[in-house]
Chains A and B, each alone.
Chain A
Amino acid sequence: MTQTEVRTPPLRETTGSAVGAPIDRVDGTAKTTGAARFAAEHPYPDLAHAALAHSSVARGRITAIDTAAAAAVPGVLTVITHLNAPAMKPPPKISPFNLVSLATGTSVNYLNTDEVHWNGQPVAVVVAETRDAALHAASLVEVAYQRLEAVVDFAAEEGNAEPQKSNALQSGGARKGDARAALAAAPVSVDLRFSTPQHNHNALEPHATTAAWDGDRLTVHEATQGIAWTRGQLALRFGVPERNIRVLSPYVGGGFGGKGMVWAGTVLAVLAARVAGRPVRLELTREGVYRTVGGRTPSTQRVALGARADGRLTALVHTSVARVGRVGGGGEQITSQSRHLYDAENILLQQNLVTLDLLPNTMMRAPGEAIGTFALESAVDELAYKLGLDPIELRMRNEPTVNPLDGKRFAHRMLREAYELGAERFGWPERTPAPGSMRDGRWLVGMGVASAYHPSWQLAANVTVRLSADGGVLVRCAFQEMGMGSATVVAQIAADALGVPVAAVRVEYGDSLLPGGPAAGGSAQTASIAASLLPAAEKLKRSVLALARRSPESPLRGTRASGVLARDGGLYPADGRGAGESYPAILARAGRDSVEARVGSDTRVGAMVSQARTVGKVLNDRRRWVKAACGAHFCEVRVDPDTGEVRVTRWVGAFDVGRVINAKTAASQLRGGIVMGIGMALSEETLVDPRTGRVMNPSLAEYHVPVHADIPPIEVHYLDEPDPTMPLGLIGVGEVGITGVAAAVANAVHHATGRRVRDLPITLDKLL
């Protein structure tokens, strides 16, 4: 670097204003030009392709498997079944002390057993020269089964549900006072039953793995939300040390929770690569995703509310039945929002589970709250009508000042303000409350509201920050970017923390060689990274200042760390008096190429320590505060009075998500959640045949996600006030958007038609 460059560093933009700015995503160009390589796009010389054959029974044992026809397909290299597969270790038992174990999608040791546990379980993998040959050959694998009795009908099994046990992270139930008695005594009450079907994620990019062994070293290009979990699971299953495995996942085409765990395709791609002795790519078909990656549990729910004539709640009962698989899955926090949203005198919450011989459920955007808010927020609307109160007014009369269950403080709660802002932007006062009272030509018009609520979480993250002699900043952390804008917001946070423009920051992510990052789940990623990135930047600033202070010529000589401000690409006295110095100048004088700071350690012990520290902090926080994102949805629908077709025509959402880091990517996250919620409200439903346990609509033609024509313009507003207990005051935005959406739609449909639909999706037959 030359002297001239040192004196005029490439730092011309104003600094300090990156956080909050609606800047374009830093990976946008790579994605739109096709330069970005996804997991199924990594070329390897000698690459072979794998495809799965799936079971056609829900439960049984394989008695015979004929692979001759498959093996005879030209181009087929090998057909792997339980008869010839090398032994793998079984997946780890789920334990809160081993976070990697939480990523076990199913407990099945694939192709190491003749047992079949769900309709669609992989029973063979074909490896071939081309994907077409592999897929065709997989269809020719003939399997004979001894069928065993399978329990697959959720509706029929509901009565056999058992109470869900509580653990450190999730409560199966809670109570305050005597809600049953209060309900019976309440002058006004509703007691309602709701149901929601199974949903599947349908990320644009189907799950894909490219796996290459080199001796006992393994490289995996994977579409995942959990790089570290993928690495940890593969290490356990294939009996190699974690350090021998590199998982790369720089671009992921959407996940929504479906890529959070390690599913059959990933394990079997790695197995196939080992057997074939060649790099192997396994790209699931859309059907393959439905057959091997879990979805959202179906549910039935009861919400009963008792109120005084003035609307004050005396009783709130919310119970649910959901299902898990016999080989995995877990309870979803369906009643979680009901712990926090209303100041009811008596509360009774209980989640129940049935166990079925189906592919286990898994996390899907706001697991629990997405469907729990449908029931609760629909019931509140019904109560409002019964009371003759405006549904917002009813909510405001029951807005708590402390957590209703136990009196804990809210770290931050601006639901009142969200309703005020939303009502004004939406024009709520123009609504006439009587059902069927608003029309637009032949259309019935309806307007509905519902609350959004999602707890905020934080996970462990290790981060390094490096400042180079040219003033550039490199942030390294093995986090995931599935299109949320994570890399962009991390660059923004680093830019402000170090006083450089966003363009001077480069972010490396999506690679297990980097410092260990959090999994992308629980809307926790940004807060988790910020919690480590901010102290790392602070450490870096101190190191740089130390360099400057050592030099007699530096104007910063003698300045204390508390007295300097990082701005304009350097360090300057905070009080504005006296000269400061640019980073390049400080580093050049010190003769340094770079300075680096790090938070967290990736040694085995270090990782455990930071994990324990984070979990400890989170649990400690939770003992003191209730932390969450919340918001108010305003929805307008039009219903065709002849056919019952529902069209969502307008949407306003006002959110309390703490400080907004990037107004553009955050809006996209919230909007995406609303779009997904509209799908849940009107059309999405996984059809599981109750006779066979088989998913009958495993395709985008028959599983109806919303299309463009289903989605109106969506206005997103933020309150944009920092949560004082969160790093930078930010609260995650990934999931809160979907919560409450289906209820807002259902409430609007009721307003339009006078009909209450309590069973999702609200298809037109329910309105005829």
Chain B
Amino acid sequence: MKTFSYVRATDVATAVGAIASEPNAKFIGGGTNLVDLMRERVESPDTVVDISALPLTEVEELPGGGVRVGALTRNSHLAAHPLIRARYPVLSQAILTGASAQLRNMATVGGNLLQRTRCPYFYDDTAACNKREPGAGCDAIGGFTRGHAVLGASEACIATHPSDMCVALAALDATVEVRSVRGTRRVPVDGFHLLPGATPHIETVMAADELVTAVELPASPLAANSRYRKVRDRASYAFALVSVAAALEVTGGAVAGVRLALGGVAAKPWRAREAERVLLGAPATEESFRRAAEAELAPAAAQPHNAFKIELARRTITATLRRLLTDGSAA
């Protein structure tokens, strides 16, 4: 790892000031992703601004029933928080399926939002990668693509976003609060991450000098009946092949409200709006679930090793909605 300068910020103003004044600086939260990427020579900041001591660790109830989560809240703390467990079980479950207990104890909400893809060719600096080096090409195409995208990919990049937490946030219509020397702005999670297009190195709407300060979860009666299902290559400690965050409300046998998002299939947490549209008002049956899943996956396109993900996503959507119907959010 290249040598770098280290700055420790204890208040938000200093943090955003420090990042603005350094041309090649990075924030470090839990460091569980950034340090790996620095070791692998994917990231080489000259300055690292440590924000782990910022007073942004509160999980507070908002007037109206929403919840505000400070960006430095540790993943494990958020998952265990009673407000989250009661009102947004899908979020708690999603976080707990991610990484390992040790990593979750370190990882922060801001870092989780901004973690980068696990594409093996992105990690190996002998491979061509447009995300790492714009214009270099993409060695994943024609290589090992089991973990890659089936929705929203481009010719320049087929990587996926690895986060579980973000899939739940997408389903919950969360908002990200971002601060810089220019002020504060708020971005809906669904618009926070970008599809690769011709510029896969631009992954979010964040400017390089912006700090995530909080995530806000809107009040949602629907969210109390929600669950997360992650499908992966071993029972624990592996990234999602496909994951589904779902919330469901059924009245009189028909779907009165539904939120659905997919993980492991695209460069962003994939809000399944087409499936939601098909489901709304439809009878809450296996057949409707399947039809909705099919509608969502209709535009999917596979690589040689990941065609199974399309069928897996259909099945997992269907199975998750079915479980919500029978078991609610109980594990």
Contacts and interface: CB of A to CB of B under 8 A. Distances in A.
Please say whether chains A and B are actual partners in one complex.
yes
A579 interface: no
Interface in B106-132: 118, 120-121, 124-127
Chain B's interface size range is: 20 to 34
Interface in B210-264: 231, 233-238, 241
A687 B120 contact: yes
A701 B318 contact: no
A139 B41 CA distance: 8
B234 A643 contact: no
Contact of B143 (A56, A683, A696, A708): A696
A696 B316 contact: no
B120 A696 contact: yes
Contact of B234 (A56, A135, A682): A682
A697 B120 contact: yes
A690 to B, nearest CB: 9
B321 to A, nearest CB: 11
Contact of B1 (A56, A132, A687, A697): A132
B107 to A, nearest CB: 14
A764 B231 contact: yes
A359 to B, nearest CB: 15
B137 to A, nearest CB: 13
Contacts of A575: none
A30 interface: no
A702 B117 CA distance: 13
A706 interface: yes
A709 interface: yes
A701 B118 contact: yes
Contacts of B231: 643, 645, 764
A707 B142 contact: no
A299 B318 CA distance: 37
Interface in A557-601: none
B192 interface: no
B308 interface: yes
Contacts of B118: 701-702
A642 B286 CA distance: 12
Nearest to B315: A642
A136 interface: yes
Contacts of A763: 233
Nearest to A57: B126
Contacts of A647: 235
Interface in A606-661: 642-645, 647
A710 interface: yes
A83 interface: no
Nearest to A706: B234
B234 A704 contact: yes
Interface in A53-110: 56, 74
A642 B308 contact: no
Nearest to A708: B236
Interface of B is mostly: loop
A707 B236 contact: yes
A299 B84 CA distance: 49
Interface in A674-711: 682-683, 687, 689, 691, 694, 696-697, 701-702, 704, 706-710
Contacts of A74: 3
A7 to B, nearest CB: 56
B319 interface: yes
A643 B236 contact: no
A696 B124 contact: yes
A246 to B, nearest CB: 34
A148 interface: no
A501 B175 CA distance: 69
A503 interface: no
Nearest to B231: A643
Interface in B21-49: 39, 41
A768 B311 contact: yes
Nearest to B38: A136
A765 interface: yes
A691 B121 CA distance: 13
A643 B120 contact: no
B118 to A, nearest CB: 7
Interface in B274-300: none
A691 B2 contact: no
A635 to B, nearest CB: 16
A710 B121 contact: no
Contacts of B142: 691
A696 B234 contact: no
Given A645-B231, A647-B235, A768 B308 contact: yes
Contact of A694 (B124, B238, B241, B319): B124
Contacts of A683: 233-234
A56 B241 contact: no
B83 interface: no
A689 B120 CA distance: 11
Nearest to A133: B3
Contacts of B308: 764-765, 768
Given A694-B127, A696-B121, 14 more contacts: A56-B126, A139-B41, A642-B315, A643-B312, A683-B233, A696-B143, A697-B144, A702-B120, A707-B234, A707-B236, A709-B235, A710-B235, A710-B236, A764-B308
20 contacts: A56-B126, A135-B39, A136-B1, A642-B319, A682-B234, A683-B233, A683-B234, A691-B142, A697-B144, A704-B238, A707-B234, A707-B235, A707-B237, A709-B234, A710-B234, A710-B236, A763-B233, A764-B308, A765-B308, A768-B315
- 4 A-B pairs with the lowest CB-CB distances in the bound complex, closest first: A765-B308, A709-B235, A56-B126, A642-B319
